[in-house]
Chain A
Amino acid sequence: MRDVAIIGVGAHPTGRFMDKPLKALAYPAIWGALDDAGVKVTDVNVAYVGNSLGGLLTGQEGVRGQVVLQHSGITGIPIVNVENACASAMTALRGAWLEVASGAADVALAVGVEKMNVGNNARTISALSGVSELDLSELGMQFTTSYAIHPKINLKSRMQEYGWTAADFAKPAVKNSYNGSLNPLAQHRKPLTIEEVVQSRVIVDPLTLLMCSSISDGAAAAVVCSADIATRFSSKMPIKIASCVLQSGVYRLPHDDRPDSATTSAYAAYEKAGIGPEDLDAIELHDAMAPSELMLYERLGLCSPGEGPKLIDEHVTTLDGRLPVNPSGGLCSRGHPVGATGLLQICELVWQMRGEAGKRQIEKRPKVTMAQNQGGLLLGQDSAVYGCTILKS
């Protein structure tokens, strides 16, 4: 396998863009990445396009990648459509990475795009329910419920087990809202207080509105190439993909004692990159519901069980901390256009590693970073998809 570098990234701002179809959302992200990389359309050998809900919500059930890329002037090359729920974009990146690592391509493009605002939130929520296995969603199970009480995450039981309070649950949202307030691409740019988060409307007890990522439109893209030719295109510092791991959920019976799949995917990524969690300088992780960030601290090996809130209290994971988490604002503040999120995480890490993150730039420029992305829900009590990418400069 060849070493692969990210040489360009681009993103569309995240938010509510009623007048923009998928291809219009993707266009600035794609050209942002191409221009950033210094590559021409004709340099791109292959493209992977991640999208989750576009079939149901826009009616473009098939060939969304080809439609989106033709609008941006990219035609003729192999284009692979990727659907992997909220980890669609990370899966697209993995496809692009594999193409180059294997030697099949020299330059590959990964795109993630999602349009969730269609003027009818009940429709969007129904579509989102469809990323759970149908046997669950047809009974009226909601995706938010999976975070509240699903055995795999069960934030409600963590309150009893660890003594976490509603204020603890609010801490990641507050931290990330500050980061998001500094991010011009973010959907929500108002810094929040603990009180505001706790007292916002209950969505699925114990989760309140401001603990939940919201309905978002957005897009992101990355250009990857063989590391040995990276400087041919651009004078910017290439960012090496040290590992790019994809796992699927496993069928778990109630008393399954195997390690959590977020853990196994992260540790597989650490191992392949030759690092441990202690080597990380910054993380973008999948805080689809803010308090799940606290769980992920444990599962990624950043702290002992129950210690999550301390990492925020002691300013470890804040923007000024030793290991900033979600400097972009994360899913709750930057926004969660589901099929774009994995690449939005990658964009943020690349900008941070290059020192291009503006007001939210981490003071000590990170050299080793990780993006953790997951999605979907299976009957076997696991998420459907787990993705973990480690970058090195």
Chain B
Amino acid sequence: MKILNPDNLRVSTEPGATPCLLGNRCQQCGTIVFPKMPVCPSCHRNGAMEEVEIGRTGRLYSHTIAHFAPKGFIAPSFQAFIDLPEGPRVFSLIGSKYPVERGVLEDGMEMRLIVEPLADTPEHRDELTYKYVPASKATRAKA
């Protein structure tokens, strides 16, 4: 197992630590971006970006079910955008324990970040990445 993009994702082995995304915050204007970039897209200052931990939680901005998939991915699958409380809106897949059906997710719901293999396929089984799942335990997962 390896992390697909270690620059984007922090998986700590400390007890009690939760995984998070790694973004950049502009020290001049405060804009936070994900993934990282060296120049602030808002104020265009170069070299003022510092690393910040973000995205432990988020809110489901929008989601859909894709019924076909590129090579190495599985269909049907959820595709989603998550609004992070720190500012960025990120594309994410949804944790594989949730059945890919209408009604499982609801736009606006609270989400939390998990880490799991990108896809259960020979191409991506060993690549760990971030995904989001409903924060509430009430949302049903597969038995």
Contacts and interface: CB of A to CB of B under 8 A. Distances in A.
B115 interface: no
Interface string A138-177: 1111101100111100101100000000000000000000
A138 B73 CA distance: 10
A122 B68 CA distance: 9
B42 to A, nearest CB: 7
B119 interface: yes
A151 B61 contact: yes
Contacts of A18: none
A204 interface: yes
Nearest to B62: A149
Contacts of A66: none
B69 A203 contact: no
Given A145-B64, A145-B79, A251-B41, A125 B70 contact: yes
A254 B87 contact: yes
B70 A139 contact: no
A139 B34 CA distance: 14
A144 B70 CA distance: 11
Interface in B47-100: 61-73, 77, 79-81, 83, 87-89, 91-93
A149 B81 contact: yes
B12 to A, nearest CB: 21
Nearest to A202: B67
Chain B's interface: helix, strand, loop or mixed, by majority?
loop
B129 interface: yes
Given A149-B79, A149-B80, A156-B64, A140 B70 contact: yes
Interface residues of B, number: 36
- Residue of B65, B93, B129 ringed by the most chain A CB atoms within 10 A: B65
B83 A254 contact: yes
A123 interface: yes
A148 B64 contact: yes
Contacts of B67: 201-205
B35 interface: yes
Nearest to A125: B70
Considering the complex of A and B, which 6 residue pairs feature the smallest CB-CB distances, nearest first? A251-B41, A149-B62, A126-B70, A145-B79, A140-B73, A254-B89
Interface of A: 122-123, 125-126, 129, 135-142, 144-145, 148-151, 154, 156-157, 201-206, 251, 253-254, 379-381
22 contacts: A122-B69, A125-B68, A136-B91, A139-B129, A140-B70, A140-B93, A141-B79, A142-B68, A144-B66, A145-B66, A148-B64, A148-B79, A149-B79, A156-B64, A202-B65, A202-B67, A204-B79, A205-B64, A205-B65, A205-B66, A253-B31, A253-B42
